Amino acid sequence: MSIAIVDVIRAKRDGLELSPEQIDFAIDAYTKGLVADEQISALLMAIYFQGMQPAELARWTTAMIDSGKRSDLSSLPKPTVDKHSTGGVGDKVTLPLAPLVAACGAIVPQLSGRGLGHTGGTLDKLEAIPGWRAALSTEEYLRQLHEVGAVVCAAGDDLAPADRKLYALRDVTGTVESIPLIASSIMSKKIAEGAAGLVLDVKVGSGAFMKDVDRARTLAETMVEIGGAAGVHTVALLTAMDRPLGRAVGNALEVAESLEVLAGGGPADVVELTVLLAREMLALAGLSDVDPAIALWDGRAMDVWRAMIAAQGGDPAAALPVAGEIQIVPAPASGTLTGLDAYAVGVAAWRLGAGRARKEDPVSAVAGVLLRAEIGDEVKAGQPLLELHTDDPDRLPAAMAALDGAVSIDGPEVPLPLVVDRVG
Scored b (16 or more CB within 10 A) or e, 57-85 reads bbbbbbbbbbbbbebebeebebbbbbbbb
Residue 26 lies in a domain: yes
* Residue 185 annotated in active site: yes
Residue 419 lies in a domain: no
Quote the CA–CA distance of 384 and 386 in Å, as a whole number. 6
CB distance 340 to 371 below 8 Å: yes
Out of 82, 91, 163, 269, the active site residue is 163
Out of 185, 258, 364, 408, the active site residue is 185
Instruction: Please tell me whether residues 20 and 103 are part of one structural domain.
Output: no
Instruction: Please tell me whether residues 177 and 307 are part of one structural domain.
Output: yes
CB distance 147 to 304 below 8 Å: no
Amino acid at 62: T
Give CA angle at 48 (208, 20), nearest 5°: 115
* Residue 190 annotated in active site: no
Q: How many angstroms separate the Cα of 22 from the Cα of each of 47, 185, 196, 256, 350?
A: 14, 18, 29, 49, 41
Residue 62 lies in a domain: no
Instruction: Please tell me whether residues 129 and 238 are part of one structural domain.
Output: yes
Out of 125, 189, 190, 217, the active site residue is 189
* Residue 143 annotated in active site: no
Instruction: Please tell me whether residues 258 and 375 are part of one structural domain.
Output: no
Instruction: Please tell me whether residues 300 and 365 are part of one structural domain.
Output: no
Out of 84, 165, 247, 351, the active site residue is 84
**Domain end among 311, 338, 373:** 311
Instruction: Please tell me whether residues 125 and 269 are part of one structural domain.
Output: yes
Instruction: Please tell me whether residues 224 and 293 are part of one structural domain.
Output: yes
Give the pLDDT confidence score for residue 401 in this predicted structure. 98
Tens-digit pLDDT profile for residues 3-48: 999 999 999 999 999 999 999 999 999 999 999 999 999 999 999 9
Residue 420 lies in a domain: no
Residue 45 contacts by C-beta under 8 Å, 6 or more apart in sequence?
Answer: 173, 174, 175
> Would the pTM of this model clear 0.75, i.e. be above it?
yes
Length, in residues, of the chain? 424
CB distance 241 to 207 below 8 Å: yes
Give the pLDDT confidence score for residue 335 in this predicted structure. 97
Counted domains in the chain: 3
pLDDT, average across residues 257-271:
97
Residue 359: is its pLDDT beyond 80? no
Tens-digit pLDDT profile for residues 177-233: 899 999 999 999 999 999 999 999 999 999 999 999 999 999 999 999 999 999 999
How many Å is the Cα radius of gyration of the chain? Answer: 22
Tens-digit pLDDT profile for residues 151-173: 999 998 899 999 999 988 998 89
Out of 59, 164, 165, 170, the active site residue is 170
Give the pLDDT confidence score for residue 1 in this predicted structure. 57
Specify the CATH number for the domain of residue 35.
1.20.970.10
Domain that holds residue 397: 325-409
* Residue 170 annotated in active site: yes
* Residue 288 annotated in active site: no
Residue 414 lies in a domain: no
Instruction: Please tell me whether residues 190 and 294 are part of one structural domain.
Output: yes
Q: What's the chain's average pLDDT?
A: 96
Residues of the chain with pLDDT > 90: what percent? 93
